[in-house]
Structure 1
């Protein structure tokens, strides 16, 4: 399968280490592209819910694929989120083309893109972190239950459904929170005179121009969505941004084997024991 050339790819909210993570699908996507830069915009590894008992090989393969981008000389920016906030103690760490940061401003064809996860806007995160963590566990349980239901629906030839998206659509407060999140990000970006503001966190992919509520300026707001339910990413190519939506049918000819992936998995595991590292981060 020929790889697509992409200037910039932004993904967020992968939640590696949880049952809801669609690591296999993400791996197929990452194998299908050749980006000039990759931005991992928070909550890539879910340290909040990390457990030694659950780290499938598919999750490790995603880590290997990201590391392969680094060894190929492709800039990879890992921006911390709330579920991987323990990595913030290592902010500004860099190794080759890999950088660990809290936020970044990228020059995109002469325009300034302000990129950060977005949990700073979450009042629950700021004042009741224990409640946010409890909600994360509940969300992961809901996703696990949803997966079981969708498995049954697929068996009987019915269309899959999303519990959380139905819940978000039903409750006005959820819609209000998303709108407030987007407006706050836009207002700050306009005030700082950025052309783009790119976030994650709310699991809602979006690209739209937002006018500032404080002055006459506007900014292009973008959100990369997630790889738990919506399976989306942001791509910048030939001067424009678009939302990539994963569709299984587009990857039917792709196999798990990848001839250009020359990374020796055993050697990589020996040098990068992810489980041990994450346990240390949680101490």
Structure 2
């Protein structure tokens, strides 16, 4: 049986990474040009993609009721379905804005969803991948909030709010509340203070990984952790329009 966590790259194929689109922010109409740009990128990379990793906060707010998902994002969801149906695996990591998923991506799009960082082997290189929220020595305010948002009682209560009201509340909180957004410190802190880099160094004490790939910080970053390991933050699709590409040997941040 093929291990889905081991991805082989045929000659000429690549693995692509993107995060932090925040579609729907500040409004669906305002984010539509960014959505069209992202869909164009997906269309461009599908010809040589061996796999695609979407590393959280694709949406600025997402909550799945039993029979209802937020309105909009048709172009993105349709393109993801097309690519997934073509046989190109897509892996999705939830972020702090879209952590309330409940089977829609798996059942409708055939895309596995991960709620914690996960390790993959890509063409004999080890990757530790996650959105990045709540990791490392900082992000304390969000860590407290996440305990509330992921509490089964909170989710059960919220799902009884009518979607027209619940989605509006969620969208308002996502745009206005910096504690939820997690992007109020989106500036470079210096290598010694970048908390996801610190977290990555601690993980290296357990075992070697070649690459640590995260989102959440909204900054395109590459930090050499030691001679053989590197931390990468993918940036975002709001200001930078950056993405990662791995060709089997090297990882590169590019701008679309």
When normalised by structure 2's length, the TM-score is 0.66
* Deviation at residue 94 of structure 1 after TM alignment: 6.6
* Deviation at residue 97 of structure 1 after TM alignment: 5.2
* Number of residues of Structure 1 aligned to a counterpart in Structure 2: 202
For 2:112, which of 84, 99, 102 is the aligned residue? 99
1:28 aligns with 2:40: yes
DSSP-derived class of the 1:179 partner: coil
1:207 aligns with 2:214: no
1:65 match: 79
Aligned equivalents of 2:106, 2:23: Cα separation in 1: 21
Alignment root-mean-square deviation, CA: 3.6
* Deviation at residue 16 of structure 1 after TM alignment: 1.8
1:230 match: 240
Q: Cα deviations across residues 135-174 of structure 1 (Å, max 9, x unaligned)? A: 842389xxxxxxxxxxxxxxxxxxxxxxx99x955xxxx6
Q: Cα deviations across residues 220-278 of structure 1 (Å, max 9, x unaligned)? A: 101111111111111111411111202xxxxxxxxxxxxxxxxxxxxxxxxxxxxxxxx
Aligned equivalents of 1:76, 1:178: Cα separation in 2: 33
1:239 aligns with 2:249: yes
* Structure 1 segments of 4+ aligned residues over 3 angstroms from their partners: 89-97, 133-136, 176-179
For 1:74, which of 76, 80, 88 is the aligned residue? 88
Distance verdict in 2 for CA 1:97–1:25, change over 3 Å: same
DSSP-derived class of the 2:229 partner: strand
Aligned pairs for 1:108-123 (under 5 A) are 108-121=122-135, 122-123=139-140
Q: Which structure 2 segments of 5+ residues have no match?
A: 1-11, 149-170
1:261 match: none
When normalised by structure 1's length, the TM-score is 0.61
Aligned equivalents of 1:200, 1:111: Cα separation in 2: 20
DSSP-derived class of the 2:25 partner: coil
Distance verdict in 2 for CA 1:48–1:69, change over 3 Å: closer
Q: Cα deviations across residues 110-132 of structure 1 (Å, max 9, x unaligned)? A: 121010101022212112469xx
1:12 aligns with 2:19: yes
DSSP-derived class of the 1:27 partner: helix
Aligned equivalents of 2:228, 2:114: Cα separation in 1: 26
Larger Rg: 1
Q: Which structure 1 segments of 5+ residues have no match?
A: 141-163, 212-216, 247-283
Distance verdict in 2 for CA 1:178–1:203, change over 3 Å: farther
More helix by share: 1
1:86 aligns with 2:100: yes
